[in-house]
Amino acid sequence: MKIVATASGGFAGLARRHEVDTAVSPAGPALEAALASLGFLAAGPAVQARATGADLLRWTIAVEADGRRHSVTFAQDGSPASAPWERLLARILAA
């Protein structure tokens, strides 16, 4: 499974990208379990942001597995709606 997290926005407007191949990463099994527990492949494509602003980072987590691709986009705004995705993002970035 390939996981790609990309960010855009923020004050500087810089793009950020982080990739994890769960087949070779030591964190792979835990990431796959986290994705499954969130129902990632069945989740809607976007999480509604609580706050708006150009200074907020907007993240897209994309997963490719078994010939399927799914992505979820959210604002890193600290809202209850984005909290599970922010926790998942932290795990991806740590891998």
Q: pLDDT by residue for the chain (95 residues), tens digit each?
A: 999 999 987 776 678 899 999 999 999 999 999 999 999 988 888 776 666 666 788 899 999 998 999 999 998 888 888 999 999 999 999 99
For the chain, give every domain's residue range.
1-19+26-51+90-95
Residues β-bridged to residue 9? 57
CB neighbour burial string for 2-35, b if at least 16 within 10 angstroms, e if fewer: ebbbbbebbeeeeeeebebebeebeebeebbebb
pLDDT for 90 equals: 96
Phi and psi torsions of 88, nearest 5°? -60, -45
